Structure 1
Amino acid sequence: MTPLIHLFRRLLNLAALGTFLSFAVAAPFMPAAETRAADAGAAMPYGHGVLWRIERAGMAPSHLFGTIHITDARILDLPAPVRTAFEQAHSATFEILMTDEVRLKMARAMVLDDGRTLDAILGPDLFARVVEAGRRYGLQAAQLRRFKPWALATVFSIPQAEMARTAAGAQPLDQWLQSEARRRGTPLYALENAEEQIAIFDGMAEKDQIALLAAAVNDNEQIETVFETMTKHYLARDIAAIYAMMTGPGNTMSPELTALFLRRINETRNRTMVRRMSARLAEGGAFIAIGALHLPGEKGLLSLLARAGYRVSRVY
């Protein structure tokens, strides 16, 4: 199997590409800024906690679980409160359900189809840096030329060890939960479809895709350290600290690109997801698993749910 096919398999084993990259875009963060990042996020509404009870008069309680889209065994070892909520749920809802059809649509969307090549889009200097980063993933220039800028921004925001685990068949947390729900016979629902997930990046102006790729290339050598920091914050349930890694000191993306990215990845989608999860909440007993960065903040899911009249309380 060629490295390019391996790469597609690795990428398409990652559930919810959009939210995955919302974690991965913290790559420009420098470890020396960790303390400042944690301080900056400490006051964020709903910034601490990964499992929340959602209630309203006349409805049985449901749970909203903030995930992180990686395969680390520490993440897949569900804490007891999360496992209990999951196993007792009447339904399980995710950002997207990863089927073969969804994987095929995502694979097609990642590849240039207008006759251009990536080297022509990027110019020689940036493409040379892309080639250098690509070597770390076993990819050659001829293969890299086929990808859209946003697709390679995703690639270079994933540690090589994470890629290797997915290539070996390991599942990210969201996909693992989907598999477990299917095994248990729990009804499954999605909040988004493949076209909507793809549009998060495919709908970005090309200049913004290029800027996103440049940031990912710049910081690829530090991605292992960044992911370990994010994993530790997640295990400590400090989601605000992860959010601050994206927006606080040390973020090398421009403020304009960061703001655009957050609007496309989080804010616009949050409003849609709250509307679409309402049917499951009305049924009661729902377990809704969404990337943890969607939960906190004034424009996060928990604030939106509270303003919509739900009672929100932290379980874990």
Structure 2
Amino acid sequence: MKKHHMFRRLLAGVLAAGLLTLPALAAEDTQQTQMPDPWAVSALADSYALGLVDDNYTSYIQSTVTMEQLENMSRIVADKLALLELPQRTADAVSLVVDTTRGGVMNALYQQAAAYELPGVEEGAASFLAGLGVVQGDQAGELALERPCTYQEAMVMANRLILAVYDANDAGAKGLLWKATNGENTLYLLGTIHLDRDNVYPLHKSLRDAIDASQTVSFELDLNDQEGLALLKSMQTYADGTTLADHISPELYQRVQAQAEALGMGANGLDAYKPWALASTFSTLSMTNDTTGANAMTIDLYVNTRAVNGGKTIDAVETYAFQGGIFDGLSAEYQETYLDASLSLLELAQGGETDPAMEEAAQQQEEMMSGIFAAWKARDPEAFAQVYDKASVINSDDELNAKLFTERDPGMIQAAASYLETEGENTFFLAVGAGHMVDPGGIVSGLRELGYTVELVE
């Protein structure tokens, strides 16, 4: 297999295929033990993306924050603010009391911001944080500094502080975001990347505002569709009595077995899955790195979580049967080659030994991913096009790559146009893989050819 085909195949999938099987981090699941209060729900998407909460948040979110948890939050705030490279200031001479009261939590978070020359920071914790809207008093204006601080209160404070400082500095990942209009209808178009890396969070205020302003948020697939997710799971696994070992070479199977052990799946833990399903998973894992957040929240999942928790209508332009069928219809030979390639790159990322050609392919993949995320964060479609050559993907002889676009872009253009033709005054948001937005044959130019106004969001 030629190495340039290998990494282009893997990258094309990340930029074109949804196949995201994680549910939304929604706040409506009443079966859990501790649910956030309504005022904290809007902070969940960003808090999860930033690592301020994890998958077990419903076991502690209403409990009093611990010192260990507060220290972790403070580190996250410190790390995110450090990325801004703001002018530093001399540390305050008076040390502040840090404990698990509201006042102590405020002091801990304030000290991370007090390391920088920020407007009003010299006024002290309460004044500075209140001025930013990080803390808000009760109806009488009291900050209740002596009261024990719950985890959700600390989480919201930390989340608001990061966003406030980033917004004040016009910082954050802008994303490849366009705005299409037709009469009274507005359609925001976000080209996503199905990964979390390169410190992509927090997202820029303009992107967050576009999600919040929309009544309907649409994706390639509805990540909340339980029937669709169940169908995808069934398509990913064997139902004919065979297992993975019956469909790939013994050597490749042994490598998958080793990876199953490395992932904590145990012996034969991946035997039920088809090669294409494992290849998709392994390729995604190979593209993450030490800049990936603790929760590895993909951009699509972030948008979905923010939309669900914001009460938006969720829609999709494709079905699980259609998108899953593209992969499930791949030839057996191709699936085995796809699995071999993605596993090889993952093994290399984990420090395994490989041949020079594979090392070169991995280096090219890493350089391309870094360039793609830099262009995405800067909202620079020209730079994105220079790094990602969609034409070569479409025109390749690869069995999968062309199908990811040629069989899907026209339908996505029509779906986008249908939103713009909706009766009345509406605001929609469409988030699909970035590869579908750009040329040749992308949604942006496709809508322009149909006569709609499409402009890059400033």
TM-score (norm 1): 0.72
CA distance in structure 1 between the aligned counterparts of 2:231 and 2:290, rounded to whole angstroms: 23
The 1:54/1:163 distance shift into structure 2, 3 A limit, reads same
Q: Which residue is 1:61 aligned to?
A: 186
**Which amino acid is the alignment partner of residue 111 of structure 1?**
T
- Measured against aligned partners, the alpha-carbon deviations of 1:282-315 in whole angstroms (never above 9, x if no partner) come to 2342111111121111212112222222222211
Matched, 1:152 2:152: no
Within-5 A mapping of 1:186-205: 186-205=312-331
The 1:163/1:150 distance shift into structure 2, 3 A limit, reads farther
Matched, 1:231 2:373: yes
CA distance in structure 2 between the aligned counterparts of 1:165 and 1:205, rounded to whole angstroms: 35
Q: Secondary structure at the match of 1:93?
A: strand
CA distance in structure 1 between the aligned counterparts of 2:257 and 2:377, rounded to whole angstroms: 34
The 1:161/1:206 distance shift into structure 2, 3 A limit, reads closer
> Which stretch of the first structure deviates more once superposed, 135-144 or 193-202?
135-144
Matched, 1:180 2:317: no
**Unpaired stretches in structure 1, ≥5 consecutive residues:** 1-14, 22-47, 249-253
Matched, 1:264 2:403: yes
> Which stretch of the first structure deviates more once superposed, 138-147 or 298-307?
138-147
Alignment match of 1:220 (pick from 341, 346, 350): 346
Is the CA contact 2:222–2:316 (under 8 Å) kept in the aligned structure 1?
yes
Is the CA contact 1:152–1:213 (under 8 Å) kept in the aligned structure 2?
yes
**Unpaired stretches in structure 2, ≥5 consecutive residues:** 1-13, 21-173, 351-362
Q: Which residue is 2:17 aligned to?
A: 18
CA distance in structure 1 between the aligned counterparts of 2:221 and 2:295, rounded to whole angstroms: 19
The 1:181/1:307 distance shift into structure 2, 3 A limit, reads same
TM-score (norm 2): 0.51
- Measured against aligned partners, the alpha-carbon deviations of 1:111-164 in whole angstroms (never above 9, x if no partner) come to 111222222211222223333444432344522322101011012112279699
Q: What's the CA shift for 1:207?
A: 1.8
Q: Secondary structure at the match of 1:185?
A: coil
**Which amino acid is the alignment partner of residue 256 of structure 1?**
D
Is the CA contact 1:20–1:291 (under 8 Å) kept in the aligned structure 2?
no
Is the CA contact 1:65–1:290 (under 8 Å) kept in the aligned structure 2?
yes
**Which amino acid is the alignment partner of residue 186 of structure 1?**
K
Q: What's the CA shift for 1:202?
A: 0.8
**Equivalent residues, number:** 268
Is the CA contact 1:16–1:95 (under 8 Å) kept in the aligned structure 2?
no
Q: What's the CA shift for 1:59?
A: 4.1
Alignment match of 2:429 (pick from 282, 287, 294): 287
- Measured against aligned partners, the alpha-carbon deviations of 1:139-194 in whole angstroms (never above 9, x if no partner) come to 4452232210101101211227969999x866422122122212222222111122
Q: Which residue is 1:118 aligned to?
A: 244
Is the CA contact 2:196–2:297 (under 8 Å) kept in the aligned structure 1?
yes
Report the structure number with the largest CA radius of gyration: 2
Q: Secondary structure at the match of 1:97?
A: coil
The 1:170/1:133 distance shift into structure 2, 3 A limit, reads closer
CA distance in structure 1 between the aligned counterparts of 2:257 and 2:374, rounded to whole angstroms: 31
Alignment match of 2:385 (pick from 240, 245, 249): 240
Q: What is the root-mean-square deviation in Å for CA atoms of aligned residues?
A: 3.5
Is the CA contact 1:94–1:191 (under 8 Å) kept in the aligned structure 2?
yes
Q: Which residue is 2:147 aligned to?
A: none
Q: Secondary structure at the match of 1:109?
A: helix
